[in-house]
Amino acid sequence: MAEMQDLIVIGGGSGGFAAAMRAAQLGGKVTIVEEAHYGGYCMHKACIPSKFLMTAARLMGRIRKAGRFGIQVQVEKPGLDLNALHDRKDLIIEGLRMGTEELLSDYGITLIEGRGRLVARDTVEVWGSGEQIKARNILVATGSVAAQQLIEGVDLPGVIGTEEAIELREIPSRFAIIGSKPWDLELAQYFHAMGSQVTLIVSGPQLLPEADREISQRLGKLLHDAGVVIKRSVSVETIRQGDDGTLVVALAEGEGEVAADKVLAARRFPNSAGLGLRELGVKMEHGAVLVDERMETSVGHIYAVGDAAAGPMWSHKANAEGIIAGENAMGLNSRMNYEAMPRCLYTWPEVAWVGLTEEQAEAQGIEVEIGKVPTAINPYAMILDETAGTVKIIACKKYGKIVGAHILAPGAVDLINVVAVAMLSEATVGELMRFIPMHPSIGEAMVDAALDVEKRSLHLPKW
């Protein structure tokens, strides 16, 4: 390729796609070098397939509760065709992949198959073919790679990562999960709903250390009450093969053992090795590329986004960063703002939050007021028969600015976006109080929580 490109993107996942599309929209000549599938890890091995499986598991749970809605299901245990389930999952992924490639082609973006690496500040070489492409700007969007946890026996057959767990076409009788990342909790609920005896092994006292403490406790109780065994504040010493061929997870400090047919022990690292970054002087930390708020590295005109860059590994974060990088590659001066970036779990009820927890606000010296309502008093939650949640709003006491929101409720993943927009526009809790939600809706609980900041909720007992 003789023509100088405005942007070369290494990696065609969420962040790479967004950057390439945005740069092309601004008139740039763009090339993507992708070694596997366009759409990346999220589309093919994580977000999309796991949420499809969670939707199926949720439906299984609804079928079992059908009697509460007057619907008589004639079988005690609904049948499960895992091949049909996975075939539909794969069909959805293939449709999304094809759509992604068509969009890139429609914008005139050149697609090259292979693994790219930087051989100069303005040059990317494609491994294997040796083809070299020059560009004014280069973006590293190579995502992350699976890595084994540092546990003796983690390489035994039957100890798997999330990619293998999502592809299982046979439900294990006993399933042990080591960790409390969002994927761990989602898969715990999925496999339990599909018939596994699930044990969740968590190193700390809180299931979700980064989430609101009360929300985390409520989610833990829901999982426990459903039948998931949770072992908190324990570490794993070894994994070994039992006499009967099953796996045995030995817990440290005499906390006992957990027998399982499959063990999930997953973690991920930035996919930055072999890209030529260190040779060019790009600063990195624990494999993650360090970037500024423009998504630019320590070497000018080289950018990094998504899992390859420092920070949490979330697809929506990668997408937003990709847009910023694409704009800056085309001469704009855009900057990334993480303040109102939501996070979520697709459990049921769903968990979602944005901004600060109470503890984080206190650590930053922000005096806050809290508004909180249980979904048990929300009419739509009653209709859905999902009343074990809560909605919490955190506001700055001095100015009323919303600094955080935490939701455990049906539809939390969508509802949190409303609060994120409010935070992005620097809305006050008083302005959120004036929002008129649909009735009945879970959104009413959000407004109730805002009203409760000033103890004005109409649906809570008088103080």
Q: Does 439 qualify as catalytic in the annotation?
A: yes
Reported as half-sphere exposure (CB side, CA atoms, 13 A), residue 242 has a value of 14
Residue 250 has a CB neighbour count (10 Å cut-off) of: 17
Q: Both tokens of residue 45?
A: 């091995």
Q: Active-site residue among 86, 301, 406, 439?
A: 439
What residues act catalytically? 439
